[in-house]
Amino acid sequence: MSNDHGHHKETFISKYIFSMDHKMISKQFLITGIIMGVIGVAMSILFRLQLAWPDSSFPILEWLFGEKWAPEGRLDSGFYMGLVTIHGTIMVFYVLTAGLSGTFSNLLIPLQVGARDMASPFMNMLSYWFFFLSSVVLMSSMFVETGPASGGWTVYPPLSALEKAMPGSGLGMTLWLTAIILFIVSALLGGINYIATVLNMRTKGMSMNRLPLTIWAFLLTAILGLLSFPVLLGGGLLLMFDRLAGTSFYLSDIFLGGGVGALEQTGGSPILFQHLFWFLGHPEVYIIIMPALGITSEVIAVNARKPIFGYTAMIISLMGISVLSFLVWGHHMFITGMNPLLGTVFLIMTLIIAVPSAVKTFNYLATLWRGSIRFTNGMMFAIGLVSLFITGGLTGLFLGNAALDITLHDTYFVVAHFHLVMGSSAIMGMMAGIYHWYPRMFGRMMNKTLGYIHFWLTFVSAYLVFFPMHFQGLAGVPRRYYSFNILPEFAPWLDVNVFITLAAILGGVAQIIFLYNFFSSIFVGEKSVQNPWEANTLEWTAPVEHIHGNWEGEIPTVYRWPYDYSRPDADSDFIPQNVPDTGSSEEVYVSPTKPDTSDAKEVEEKDNVMLFALIKNWFGLGRA
């Protein structure tokens, strides 16, 4: 690998546009993700206007969307569904998958494992450009005559398979599918690179059990993506065939109103699509949350000035989540009339996945416990993640019970669940990452006061928006309804909807503060020092100015795990990974799972690390 690209003369295009440097690609992912995020958030506020004030006219809507989609300032009902669909798609795939993994896997994998770049910088560049193209295709669907896809982000057939079903099933849906296929290509190119880099390109001394938890999370995320995205690709191809080639994989016995009558398509199964979709869909939610959890592990340990509690338990629970996430997809389909026995299996698997999730949250709390906490902006957001993850995770247990899900499915209870556990909490993790690694990305610091204001407004508004939705859902308010005007039983909830919309606007305004802080700090932020948070991981040993190849001269060698904070036997409260143990040779193996045993014993235990040590520590054996 080495420096063989290092001597090329860089032009504007090779440096900023078709860059192959992982640090630049990471910024490209971040900025594109932020732009998509702004669009997604704005959409949500616009359709919340409709929910809160269904009969009022908002000239801004007509100004934005024209007479066709917002006649007299009121959203058209079909276009409302289009906005909901594109909002969901943008947030899940474009912001929280590409924006999150793309940014931080790219930035941190080479820097934290000690590599000069990704295994294949070229594939890495392709990955970004497929993502970019995919974003463009998706957004272009907002401008076609029949409007964007509008069957929800899960694009269930028949609405998604039949061009004639509704306006949003037309060209908009074809563009949606095209965009997702491009997206899958991007995710696979990126993921393959992440896996190859972590497994093959670690610097000397960086054994798997000295990896920062961020890297473990990114690695397992990439593996999940590699195993699940191809299945969605398969499902999407069949859907494309149904739309364009006249097959009927998902269509059967359909009768359309408006004089069309019974359709010829027959023999397909719409439930089949749900299986294929959720086989990706469920791992996908963990593809979203795991990088956020990894970032949180790192940020919390650094700012609590303590070793992360239960390093091995963290890794094992990530692995457990990864395996289980392939065995629970059926919990999205409890009411499709599946075999009760199968439903029970999915139920049990779903409840079991709460165990590793709980292990992680307890470990975060235990890491915070009696730490000397520095409440940096990043730390606030990391703690915010823990809070929202717990709140949202608990309602997962309700939904995971098939019997309860019969009433809760497709109500606002589900909306509350996943916006807290995935939406808000992963955004918190992403923000934690941005505030924490901003100095590494741009060489400057973000404004701390603005960061606090941003945090508190975001955190409070997340709860104000999503917590009341639980009660709406318990009362049976269905999700994805345009208006409840003609359903008097839901009238009492109108005031709550007004409240939620106001809170959502507050949350939206908070993001403007962030945008200002983010973009202005690039130019006027205080210059960052080499290691502003006094962290141990390797990225802080690289020069502040970005250079191709990351380190001048040799790549640092790693001598210890990344969580040597506040060691009682050391002078400084942190010991970076590249600091050798005094008086010991390079070969000394320091087990990260037992940082404070004597050198002699550590060498002895070299062989039985990993699995055995992991298991021992899991059960708390072998601890003083």
Partner 1 sequence: MEAAVHMETHRDKKGKMHPKQFALMLMIIGMVMLFAGLTSAFIVRKAEGNWFNFELPAQFVASTVAVVVSSATMILAFYHAKRDNIKITQISLAVTFLAGLSFVLFQYEGFMDLAGRGIYFSPDNGSEGGMVSGSFIIALVALHLLHLVGGLVFVAIVFIKSLLLKVHKKNTLSISMCNTYWHFVGILWMYLYLFLYFAPQL
Q: Which of positions 167-226 make contact with partner 1 (CB under 8 A)?
A: 188, 191-193, 195-196, 199-201, 226
C-alpha closest to that of 153 among 277, 330, 331: 277
* Cα–chain center distance at 15: 27
Are residues 438 and 444 in contact, defined by beta-carbon separation less than 8 angstroms?
yes
Give burial (CB, 10 Å; 0-12/13-18/19+) of 389.
Answer: buried
Helix (H, G, I), strand (E, B) or coil at 148: strand
Which among partner 1, ligand HEM, Cu ion, none contacts residue 279 (Cβ within 5 to 8 A by kind)? partner 1
CB of 418 to ligand HEM, least distance (A): 3
Token pair recorded at residue 401: 């019970």
C-alpha closest to that of 580 among 571, 572, 589, 593: 589
Half-sphere exposure of 284 (CA within 13 A, CB side): 28
Distance CA 287, CA 97 (A): 7
Phi-psi region of 581 (alpha: psi -120 to 50; beta: other; left: phi over 0): beta
Q: Which of positions 90-119 make contact with ligand HEM (CB under 6 A)?
A: none
Token pair recorded at residue 426: 């992963």
Which residue, 87 or 332, is less far from Cu ion as judged by CB?
A: 332
CB of 40 to ligand HEM, least distance (A): 14
Token pair recorded at residue 575: 């010991």
Which residue, 329 or 540, is less far from ligand HEM as judged by CB?
A: 329
Phi-psi region of 253 (alpha: psi -120 to 50; beta: other; left: phi over 0): left
Which residue, 417 or 470, is less far from Cu ion as judged by CB?
A: 417
Question: Which of 55, 264, 569, 587 touches partner 1 by CB under 8 A?
Answer: 264
Question: Which of 48, 74, 282, 409 touches Cu ion by CB under 5 A?
Answer: 282
Range list of H helices, 98-212: 103-113, 121-140, 171-200
Q: How many of the chain's residues bind partner 1 (CB under 8 A)?
A: 40
CB of 328 to ligand HEM, least distance (A): 8
Are residues 133 and 127 in contact, defined by beta-carbon separation less than 8 angstroms?
no
Distance CA 394, CA 354 (A): 9
Which x/- pattern, by CB under 6 A, does the window 408-427 give for ligand HEM?
A: xx----x--xx--xx-----
Which residue, 308 or 333, is less far from partner 1 as judged by CB?
A: 333
Question: Which of 399, 431, 496, 500 touches ligand HEM by CB under 6 A?
Answer: 399
Which residue, 251 or 289, is less far from Cu ion as judged by CB?
A: 289
Q: 313 vs 220, 394, 522, 566, 616, CA distance in Å?
A: 15, 21, 38, 21, 10
Q: How many Cβ atoms from other residues are within 10 Å of residue 6's Cβ?
A: 10
Q: Which of positions 527-586 make contact with ligand HEM (CB under 6 A)?
A: none
Segment interacting with Cu ion, rule: CB under 5 A, options 88-96, 119-127, 277-285, 356-364: 277-285
Q: How many Cβ atoms from other residues are within 10 Å of residue 93's Cβ?
A: 26
Phi/psi of residue 535, each to 5°? -100, 165
Are residues 119 and 193 in contact, defined by beta-carbon separation less than 8 angstroms?
yes
CB of 246 to ligand HEM, least distance (A): 30
CB of 102 to partner 1, least distance (A): 18
Residue 405 near ligand HEM by CB under 6 A: yes
Which among Cu ion, ligand HEM, partner 1, none contacts residue 266 (Cβ within 5 to 8 A by kind)? partner 1
Which residue, 219 or 408, is less far from ligand HEM as judged by CB?
A: 408
CB of 493 to ligand HEM, least distance (A): 19
Residue 238 near partner 1 by CB under 8 A: yes
Q: What is the DSSP string of 13-72?
A: IIIIIS---HHHHHHHHHHHHHHHHHHHHHHHHHHHHHHH-TT---HHHHHHHHHHHSGG
Residues contacting 339, CB < 8 A, separation 6+: none
CB of 157 to partner 1, least distance (A): 13
The residue with its CB nearest to ligand HEM is 396
Helix (H, G, I), strand (E, B) or coil at 255: strand
CB of 432 to ligand HEM, least distance (A): 15
Which residue, 356 or 556, is less far from Cu ion as judged by CB?
A: 356
Which residue, 99 or 235, is less far from partner 1 as judged by CB?
A: 235
Radius of gyration of the chain (CA): 25
Residue 272 near partner 1 by CB under 8 A: yes
The answer to whether the peptide bond before residue 439 is cis (omega within 30 degrees of 0) is no
Which among Cu ion, partner 1, ligand HEM, none contacts residue 235 (Cβ within 5 to 8 A by kind)? partner 1
Segment interacting with ligand HEM, rule: CB under 6 A, options 116-124, 171-179, 349-357, 574-582: 349-357
DSSP H helix total and E strand total for the chain: 19, 2
Residue 354 near ligand HEM by CB under 6 A: yes
Residue 269 near partner 1 by CB under 8 A: yes
CB of 152 to ligand HEM, least distance (A): 7
Segment interacting with partner 1, rule: CB under 8 A, options 146-154, 261-269, 286-294, 397-405: 261-269
Are residues 55 and 118 in contact, defined by beta-carbon separation less than 8 angstroms?
no
Which among Cu ion, ligand HEM, partner 1, none contacts residue 268 (Cβ within 5 to 8 A by kind)? partner 1
Residue 234 near partner 1 by CB under 8 A: yes
Q: What is the 3-state secondary structure (H, E, C) of 577-593?
A: CCCCCCCCCCCCCCCCC
Are residues 113 and 206 in contact, defined by beta-carbon separation less than 8 angstroms?
yes
Which residue, 154 or 252, is less far from ligand HEM as judged by CB?
A: 154
Segment interacting with Cu ion, rule: CB under 5 A, options 209-217, 262-270, 276-284, 427-435: 276-284
Question: Which of 20, 126, 288, 313 touches ligand HEM by CB under 6 A?
Answer: 288
Residue 393 near ligand HEM by CB under 6 A: yes
Residue 285 near ligand HEM by CB under 6 A: yes
C-alpha closest to that of 414 among 477, 500, 325, 347: 477
Token pair recorded at residue 609: 């690390």
Residue 279 near partner 1 by CB under 8 A: yes
CB of 382 to Cu ion, least distance (A): 24
Give residues in contact with ligand HEM (CB under 6 A).
Answer: 154, 285, 288-289, 331-332, 350, 353-354, 357, 393, 396-397, 399-400, 405, 408-409, 414, 417-418, 421-422
- Site residues (CB under 5 A) for Cu ion? 282
Which residues lie near partner 1 (CB under 8 A)?
Answer: 1, 119-120, 123, 188, 191-193, 195-196, 199-201, 226-231, 233-235, 237-238, 241, 245-249, 252, 264, 266-269, 272, 275-276, 279
